[in-house]
């Protein structure tokens, strides 16, 4: 039986949607902070290896699974590799929902900063209810502004705005998604190019770019750098969460998925490259020091640079506004795909309406987003994350981001490589490919990628042994969270996967 699953109106629509999914917070917020944390140039070699050895082949595999079966991730895995593979598919869908919850929360803060650009973001005299920020600032401080925002209930309002936009775009599936990405994706390229031109033409902007691209051979020996690059690549290319398979399942069977993967990956990494240039040039021009969490670089270091960009207030405000507007639209074209993966999976398996599927996903995820924006102050001295919301987000991100994507990547390679047979997938992909894949593809899927991923996952786990992540800071009354969150995630996601795999299904 073929239910109305929807399909892309054009190949361009698909490429815009898939590249819109790939380009998001990962490219702007997380990439720059990872690249900085791992020492600029030291990040590049692992990053390129990750692109060619892991990213491209897995994207081909995930796209291929979608067109081959015409189904979303869990059912595609079931059809190609059996019920045990389906279980992993549902587990990844559950993780996608956890990630959606906090991804939208970050977008809510970005929205708040965007509004703040015309409020008091670039004005002196602000305070935030944390000990270090008790006195009004002498000049504008994006950091104090950010924490003052976090300590209010406004972000809760903003996440409802972002959720509303997501559901509006998703309401008619591919038809409405395509309409949105046709506007947002070109717009975000335009703004990013504008930003990089401004950054590089500043006096000294070029040195920042050089820092980012001067290879640093010493850093390469550090296992952490490789781990960082691998997870970054997975997240940035939207792999391991069922997204790309869902999007590809709306394409006709004869789509050239080798070519599509190359196109989407290069668009994504190209964007990441210029985003890196823009951010590092600002960083160097204003000699800013991005200490602290992943968010700090984009949420307060860059705005601080923008503040010094011009002495004319409205230009500063406009630039600040555009920077966060860019983050919001780039993030929105990703969050819709994060939600579409689970939605497509539920529609396929339970044969329910899109509206019902979206409700089942949105309600728990919205609760999650609200939890991540709770302004309750748990750490007055700001030794850690300050508010309860940001602490929940940080701990959830640590576990879900570091583990689920890579574990799913590992298992799907094993399932497709060994149960279905990598060669079967390769031949299916080659049937319509302008540049057919050689046998090296099988070797990558069966041996190389699983070995690399297993090594990275095990070494990450090994590093966790000394202390539970997040337990180093005293969060008055909430010190149980570092243990509770990973346990909750595991129990809920595995339970969800078990329940949905068990549900009877006839094709
Ligand atoms: N690739 C997106 C980003 O870079 C995030 C994402 C991951 C979206 C997985 C969908 C699925 O922000």
Predicted pLDDT of residue 211: 77
Please calculate the CA angle 56-13-109 and round it to the nearest 5 degrees.
80
Backbone angles phi, psi at 470, to 5 degrees: 90, -5
Predicted pLDDT of residue 269: 95
- Ligand 1 centroid from CA 270, angstroms: 15
Indicate whether residue 92 lines ligand 1 (CB < 6 A): no
Which domains are present in the chain? 11-464+483-502 (1.20.1740.10)
Predicted pLDDT of residue 1: 37
3-state secondary structure 104-153: HHHHHHHHHHHHHCCCCCCCCCCCCCCHHHCCCCCCCCHHHHHHHHHCCC
DSSP state of 54: I
Length of the chain: 507
Indicate whether residue 338 lines ligand 1 (CB < 6 A): yes
Predicted pLDDT of residue 80: 97
Q: Could you tell which of 100, 192, 235, 340 is best to mutate to test the pocket of ligand 1, judged by most ligand atoms within 8 Å of the CB?
A: 235
Is the pTM above the cut of 0.85? yes
Predicted pLDDT of residue 2: 41
Indicate whether residue 404 lines ligand 1 (CB < 6 A): no
Predicted pLDDT of residue 441: 98
Output the six-digit token pair for 99.
């990630």
* Shortest-distance atom of ligand 1 to CA 29: 12
Cα 191 versus chain centre, distance: 20
41-100 tens-digit pLDDT: 788 888 899 999 999 999 999 999 999 999 999 999 999 999 999 999 999 999 999 999
- Ligand 1 centroid from CA 238, angstroms: 4
Predicted pLDDT of residue 45: 83
* Shortest-distance atom of ligand 1 to CA 24: 12
Stretches in the chain below the pLDDT threshold 70:
1-4, 287-293
Distance CA 193, CA 461 (A): 39
Indicate whether residue 260 lines ligand 1 (CB < 6 A): no
377: three-class secondary structure by DSSP: strand
Indicate whether residue 24 lines ligand 1 (CB < 6 A): yes
Cβ-based neighbour number of residue 51 at 10 Å: 20
387: three-class secondary structure by DSSP: strand
- Specify burial of residue 67 (Cβ count, 10 A radius: 0-12, 13-18, 19+): buried
Indicate whether residue 21 lines ligand 1 (CB < 6 A): yes
Predicted pLDDT of residue 402: 84
- Ligand 1 centroid from CA 57, angstroms: 17
Q: Could you tell which of 26, 272, 331 is best to mutate to test the pocket of ligand 1, judged by most ligand atoms within 8 Å of the CB?
A: 26
Integer CA distances (angstroms), 366 to 34, 39, 163, 334, 448, in order: 27, 36, 8, 16, 39
- Ligand 1 centroid from CA 351, angstroms: 26
Residue whose CA is at the smallest distance from ligand 1 atom 6: 238
270 touches 22 (CB < 8 A)? no
202-228 tens-digit pLDDT: 887 888 778 777 777 777 878 788 888
Indicate whether residue 236 lines ligand 1 (CB < 6 A): yes
| Cβ-Cβ contacts under 8 Å for 414 (sequence gap 6 or more) | 450
DSSP state of 41: G
């Amino acid at each position: 039986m073929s239910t109305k699953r929807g399909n892309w109106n054009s190949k361009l629509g698909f490429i815009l949607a898939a590249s819109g999914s790939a380009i998001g917070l990962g490219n702007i917020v997380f990439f720059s902070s990872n690249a900085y944390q791992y020492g600029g140039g030291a990040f590049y070699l692992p990053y390129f290896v990750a692109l060619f050895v892991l990213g491209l082949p897995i994207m081909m595999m995930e796209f291929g699974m979608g067109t081959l079966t015409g189904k979303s991730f869990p059912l595609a895995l079931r059809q190609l590799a059996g019920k045990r593979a389906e279980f992993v598919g549902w587990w990844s869908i559950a993780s996608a929902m956890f990630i959606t919850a906090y991804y939208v929360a970050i977008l809510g803060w970005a929205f708040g900063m965007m509004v703040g650009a015309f409020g008091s973001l670039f004005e002196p005299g602000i305070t935030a209810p944390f000990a270090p920020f008790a006195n009004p600032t002498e000049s504008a401080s994006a950091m104090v502004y950010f924490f003052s925002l976090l300590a209010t209930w406004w972000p809760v309002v903003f996440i409802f705005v972002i959720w509303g936009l997501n559901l509006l775009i998703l309401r008619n599936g591919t038809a409405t998604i395509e309409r949105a990405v046709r506007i947002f994706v070109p717009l975000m390229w335009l703004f990013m190019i504008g930003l990089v031109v401004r950054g590089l033409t500043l006096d000294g902007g070029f040195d920042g770019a050089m820092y980012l691209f001067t290879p640093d051979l010493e850093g390469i020996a550090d296992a952490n750098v490789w781990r960082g690059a691998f997870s970054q690549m997975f997240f940035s290319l939207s792999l391991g969460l069922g997204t790309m398979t869902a999007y590809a399942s709306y394409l006709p069977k004869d789509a050239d998925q080798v070519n599509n993967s190359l196109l989407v990956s290069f668009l994504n990494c190209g964007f990441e490259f210029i985003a890196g240039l823009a951010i590092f040039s600002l960083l160097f021009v204003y000699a800013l020091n991005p200490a602290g969490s992943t968010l700090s670089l984009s949420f307060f270091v860059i705005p601080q640079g923008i503040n010094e960009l011009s002495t004319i207030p409205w230009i500063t405000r406009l630039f600040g506004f555009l920077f966060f507007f860019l983050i919001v639209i780039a993030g929105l074209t990703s969050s819709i795909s994060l939600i579409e993966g689970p939605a497509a999976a539920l529609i396929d398996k339970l044969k329910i309406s899109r509206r019902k599927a979206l409700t089942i996903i949105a309600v728990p995820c919205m609760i999650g987003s609200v939890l991540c924006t709770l302004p309750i102050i748990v750490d007055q001295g700001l030794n850690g994350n300050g508010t309860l919301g940001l602490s929940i987000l940080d701990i959830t991100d640590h576990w879900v981001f570091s583990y689920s994507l890579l574990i799913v990547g590992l298992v799907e390679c094993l399932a497709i490589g060994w149960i279905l047979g990598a060669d079967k997938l390769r031949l299916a992909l080659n049937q319509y490919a302008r540049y057919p894949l050689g046998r090296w593809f099988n070797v990558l899927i069966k041996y190389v990628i699983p070995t690399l991923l297993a090594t990275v996952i095990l070494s990450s786990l090994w590093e966790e042994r000394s202390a539970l992540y997040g337990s180093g800071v005293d969060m008055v009354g909430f010190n149980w969270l570092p243990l509770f969150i990973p346990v909750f995630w595991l129990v809920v996601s595995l339970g969800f996967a078990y329940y949905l795999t068990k549900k009877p299904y006839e094709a």
